[in-house]
Amino acid sequence: MIKILFICHGNICRSPMAEYVMKHLVQQNGAKEQAEIASAATSTEEIGNPVYPPAKRKLAEHGISCKGHAARQLQKSDYHHYDLLIGMDHANIRNMNRICGGDAAKKIHLLMDYTSHPGKEVADPWYTGDFEATWQDVLEGCQGLLNIVKASYKA
The distance of Cα 20 from the centroid of its chain, to the nearest Å, equals 8
- Is the domain spanning 2-150 CATH 3.50.50.60? The answer is no
Task: Indicate the domain borders of the chain.
Answer: 2-150
pLDDT in tens, 97-154: 999 999 999 999 999 999 999 999 999 999 999 999 999 999 999 999 998 877 776 6
**Residues annotated catalytic, as ranges:** 8, 14, 124
Please give the torsion angle defined by the CA atoms of residues 87, 90, 94 and 100, in that order, rounded to the nearest 10 degrees.
10
Q: How many CB atoms lie within 10 A of CB 24?
A: 19
**Among 134, 132, 90, 136, CA closest to 109:** 90
pTM of the model: 0.96
